[in-house]
């Protein structure tokens, strides 16, 4: 396996992941805005609802991803091509079968959904749209995904991220042009989704170029360890991402689904910027754990946690200040639903803050392969989310949905912090709690300064951009001042890290 310098590739992976998330956010904004303007809230809600139901099948795909990554770190670090090839061969078998099951599931959903869910759309309209959305999900998330996982495990995240970015750009441009020329939602979703069929073949070519594999005999039935434990954890993660829209579809209606999807699109956009940083660091964490380099692992993890706290404080505080004004601008001209839901938006933001702060702890637990020990708490998280969401949505609507998600995320975050203290890092919980209190105070100070000293004067795009940049500078300045006072050790390590990187490149 050919590797770049460890520090160099980590930064490249982080940059590529951030670039992908920026493209993803822009793409989501453009496509959802076109959908609302051309087809209305009912169609937007239908697409969001169908997508979430189709995503149920991906919980099996997601269940194997962290297990595969954890299985691949050690053989990749040791250049064990035979072991890597066996794992990849087993993964390909699994995903080929899952692709067939997914097609059957999509057809069944297309038949059942219009019968069970009350909508203003015909059977043929929903059935055909279901199959078109399924094509996109199959090409993007399931078909030959093992090539993508192998590249990520081998610290080639940048290959995957730049490929996905290119596909998204082409897909969005086609959707935009198609809306101007022939505004039919079925055609637009089809032409924007078919682009992703090319993706797996690019991954396969990259694997052959960068990673040495050996031929595996047909009779080889290598079994991937912890795959069922990984599935249980995937169910919890999936529920976090998908339960809300499913519960709203069944108990509230497509208008509330559309409102939820607009707020979730913005909050998810903020979250994915932070998780993209994780995507760049996770392979380095995994390789350090595989090499049992505990001292370096603790240093990198502390830096990882600090970066996540800084980004979460900066971006989610900014998001809280601009969320409602941006939604008001974004839904200008949409008359079939009231998108002014500030309390719901803030609670949804808080739940994703908890999710992001949990990221370093969850990712290290995954990289260490401790799936069996953490799966029960993933189940508990799932139960909390489902029960509270169903109970509260009938009384509080969208706010009830957000409260259910917040409660579930808080529980699992607390568990993972305690788990890493006892099982992997052996460090006191007060390290996390001090950061939590410190950055919470920074956030509150930032909100106070921005809201009272520089209130938003209008909801035009220019005013939102100007105010957003001003708020960004204020919040970033507060975080820099706070870091120089309270986090000198982390800042020094980051400075030394970057200094070594540039010295390596100059040599």
pLDDT in tens, 248-273: 877 877 788 888 888 888 888 888 88
Pairwise CA distance, residues 423 & 430, whole Å:
16
At 61 the pLDDT is: 59
Cβ–Cβ under 8 Å, residues 86 and 224: no
d(CA 354, CA 407) in angstroms, rounded, equals 10
Query: Average pLDDT for residues 4-23, to the nearest whole number?
Result: 74
Q: Mean pLDDT score of the chain, rounded to an integer?
A: 81
Instruction: Lowest mean pLDDT of 149-158, 162-171, 289-298, name the range.
Output: 289-298
Residue 502 lies in a domain: no
Distance CA 261, CA 331 (A): 12
- Position of tokens 């959707």? 175
Query: For residue 314, is pLDDT > 90?
Result: yes
pLDDT in tens, 446-472: 999 998 999 887 678 888 889 999 999
Structural domain harbouring 116: 1-225
Look at residue 108 in the predicted model and tell me its pLDDT. 92
Q: Residue 1 has what DSSP assignment?
A: -
Tell me what pLDDT residue 58 has. Answer: 63
pLDDT, greater one: 427 or 104:
104
Query: In the prediction, which pLDDT does 476 show?
Result: 95
Asked whether residue 284 is assigned to any structural domain, the reply reads no
How many whole angstroms separate alpha carbon 19 and alpha carbon 257?
29
Alpha-carbon distance of 277 to 31, in angstroms, equals 25
Residue 49 burial class via C-beta count within 10 angstroms: exposed 0-12, middle 13-18, buried 19 and up: buried
What is the average pLDDT across 122-128?
Answer: 91
H/E stretch holding 135: helix 123-137
**Secondary structure letter of residue 215 according to DSSP:** -
Domain-located, residue 13: yes
Q: Cβ contacts of residue 107 below 8 Å, gap of 6+? A: 131
Q: Looking at residues 40-47, what average pLDDT do you find?
A: 85
Q: Is 389 exposed, middle or buried (0-12, 13-18, 19+ CB in 10 A)?
A: buried
Comparing CA positions, the residue from 100, 86, 84, 98 lying closest to residue 219 is 86
Q: In the 8-state DSSP scheme, what is residue 219?
A: T
The pLDDT score that the predictor gives to residue 439 is: 95
The residues, ordered by sequence, that sit 6+ positions from 292 with a Cβ below 8 Å of its Cβ are: none
Q: Is the pTM of this model over 0.75?
A: no
Residue 330 predicted with pLDDT over 60 = yes
Residue 502 confidence (pLDDT) above 60: no
Q: Considering the chain, what percentage of its residues have pLDDT values greater than 70?
A: 83
- For residue 475, what pLDDT is reported? 96
Q: CA 133, CA 42: separation in Å to the nearest integer? A: 16
Provide the 8-state DSSP code for 57: G
Residue-wise pLDDT tens digits, 159-202: 888 998 999 999 999 999 988 888 888 888 888 888 888 888 88
The answer to whether residues 359 and 308 touch, using CB atoms and an 8 Å cutoff, is: yes
Q: Residue 495: pLDDT above 50?
A: yes
**Domain total of the chain:** 1
193 is a domain residue:
yes
Distance CA 147, CA 137 (A): 16
* DSSP-derived secondary structure for 321-365: HHHHHHHHHHTTT--SS----HHHHHHHHHHHHHHHHHHHHHHHH
Indicate the Cα dihedral angle 242, 32, 161, 166, nearest 10°. 150
Residue 336 exposed, middle or buried by CB count within 10 Å (0-12, 13-18, 19+)? exposed
Residue 182 CA from chain centroid, whole number: 32
| Distance, CA of 468 to CA of 344 (rounded, Å) | 21
Close Cβ partners of 453 (under 8 Å, ≥ 6 residues apart): none
- Check if the beta carbon of residue 278 is closer than 8 Å to that of residue 308: yes
The answer as to whether 124 is a domain residue is yes
Tell me 446's DSSP state. H
If you ran DSSP here, which 8-state letter would residue 193 be given?
Answer: H
CA distance 258 to 120: 15
Answer yes or no: is 465 within a domain.
Answer: no
In a domain, 93, yes or no: yes
Q: At what angle do helices 145-153 and 58-77 cross, to 10 degrees?
A: 40
Question: Quick check: 59 pLDDT over 80?
Answer: no
- Range with the poorest average pLDDT among 6-10, 81-85, 294-298, 325-329: 6-10
Q: Give me the half-sphere count of Cα atoms (radius 13 Å) on the Cβ side of residue 351.
A: 26
Block residue for tokens 């007060």: 430
The rounded percent of the chain whose pLDDT value lies above 90 is 17
Q: Residue 116 has which token pair? A: 């069970």
What is the tens place of the pLDDT at every residue in 300-312?
A: 788 888 889 999 9
Q: What is the pLDDT of residue 506?
A: 45
Average pLDDT of the residues in 333-351: 86
C-beta of residue 429 within 8 angstroms of C-beta of residue 417: yes
pLDDT value, residue 504: 45
pLDDT band at 480 (very low <50, low <70, confident <90, very high): very high
Asked if the structure places residue 120 within a domain, the reply is yes
């Amino acid at each position: 396996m050919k590797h770049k310098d460890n520090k160099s590739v980590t930064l490249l992976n982080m940059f590529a992941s951030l670039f992908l998330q920026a493209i993803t956010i822009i793409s989501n904004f453009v496509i959802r805005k076109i959908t609302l303007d051309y087809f209305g809230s009912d169609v937007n809600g239908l697409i969001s609802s169908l997508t979430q139901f189709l995503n149920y099948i991906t919980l099996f795909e997601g269940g194997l991803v962290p297990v595969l990554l954890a299985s691949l770190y050690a053989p990749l670090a040791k250049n064990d091509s035979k072991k890597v090839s066996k794992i990849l061969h087993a993964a390909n078998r699994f995903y080929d079968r899952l692709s067939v099951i997914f097609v059957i599931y999509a057809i069944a959903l297309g038949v059942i959904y219009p019968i069970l869910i009350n909508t203003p759309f015909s059977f043929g309209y929903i059935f055909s749209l279901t199959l078109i959305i399924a094509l996109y999900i199959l090409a993007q998330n399931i078909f030959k995904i093992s090539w993508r996982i192998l590249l990520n495990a081998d610290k080639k995240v940048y290959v995957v991220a730049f490929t996905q970015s290119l596909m998204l750009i082409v897909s969005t441009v086609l959707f935009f042009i198609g809306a101007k020329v022939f505004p039919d939602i079925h055609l637009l979703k089809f032409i924007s989704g078919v682009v992703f069929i090319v993706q797996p073949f690019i991954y396969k070519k990259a694997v052959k170029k960068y990673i040495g594999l050996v031929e595996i005999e047909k009779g080889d039935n290598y079994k991937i360890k912890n795959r069922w434990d990984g599935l249980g954890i995937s169910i919890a993660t999936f529920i976090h991402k998908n339960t809300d829209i499913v519960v709203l579809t069944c108990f509230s209606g497509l208008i509330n689904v559309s409102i939820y999807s607009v707020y979730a699109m913005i909050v998810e956009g903020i979250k994915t910027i932070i998780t993209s940083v994780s995507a760049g660091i996770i392979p380095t964490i995994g390789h350090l754990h595989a090499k049992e380099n505990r001292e370096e692992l603790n240093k990198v993890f502390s830096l990882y946690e600090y970066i996540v706290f800084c980004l979460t404080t900066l971006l989610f505080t900014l998001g809280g200040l601009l969320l409602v004004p941006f939604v008001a601008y974004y839904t200008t001209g949409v008359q079939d639903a009231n998108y002014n839901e500030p309390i719901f938006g803030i609670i949804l933001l808080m739940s994703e803050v908890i999710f992001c702060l949990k990221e370093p702890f969850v990712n290290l637990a995954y990289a260490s392969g401790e799936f069996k020990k953490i799966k029960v708490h993933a189940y508990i998280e799932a139960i909390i989310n489902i029960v509270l969401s169903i109970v509260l949505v009938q009384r509080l609507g969208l706010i009830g949905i957000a409260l259910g998600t917040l409660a579930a995320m808080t529980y699992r975050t607390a568990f993972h912090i305690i788990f890493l203290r006892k099982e992997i890092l052996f460090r006191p919980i007060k390290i996390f709690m001090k950061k939590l209190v410190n950055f919470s105070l920074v956030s509150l100070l930032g909100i106070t300064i921005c809201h009272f000293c520089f209130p938003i004067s209008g909801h035009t795009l220019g005013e939102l951009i100007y105010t957003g940049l001003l708020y960004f500078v204020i919040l970033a300045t507060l975080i820099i001042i706070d870091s120089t006072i309270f986090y000198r050790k982390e800042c020094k390590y980051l400075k030394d890290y970057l200094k070594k990187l540039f010295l390596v490149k100059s040599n």
